[in-house]
Amino acid sequence: MSSPTTRLFKINGKKILIRGGGYSQDMMLRDSPAEWDTHFSYAKAMNLNTIRLEGKLPGDDFFALADRYGLLIMPGW
């Protein structure tokens, strides 16, 4: 039996365990900074540090807010 494969990620020289979830925007594209703030609060409350995006990429305000929350963003396609 082979041993499981793991990956070690480092950010700014510090080891990090990536724990995340998927995020899909409102189907009618009615997102707002207040809604993002709520969703990012939920992610932090669940001890997540990464959000994977699905669909259309949001604007710079989304990424700035994620940065304030300390969340990594993994854009999907």
The number of C-alpha atoms within 13 Å of 55 and in the hemisphere containing its C-beta is 9
| Within-domain flag for 59 | yes
Q: Is the entire prediction scored with pTM above 0.85?
A: no
Phi-psi region of 40 (alpha: psi -120 to 50; beta: other; left: phi over 0): alpha
Query: At residue 19, what are phi and psi to the nearest 5 degrees?
Result: -125, 115
| Within-domain flag for 48 | yes
Which pLDDT value is given to residue 3? 56
| Within-domain flag for 67 | yes
Range of the domain at 41: 19-74
| Within-domain flag for 65 | yes
| Within-domain flag for 45 | yes
pLDDT in tens, 13-70: 999 888 888 888 777 777 888 999 999 999 999 999 999 998 788 889 999 999 999 9
Total domain count for the chain? 1
- Say if residue 2's pLDDT is above 70: no
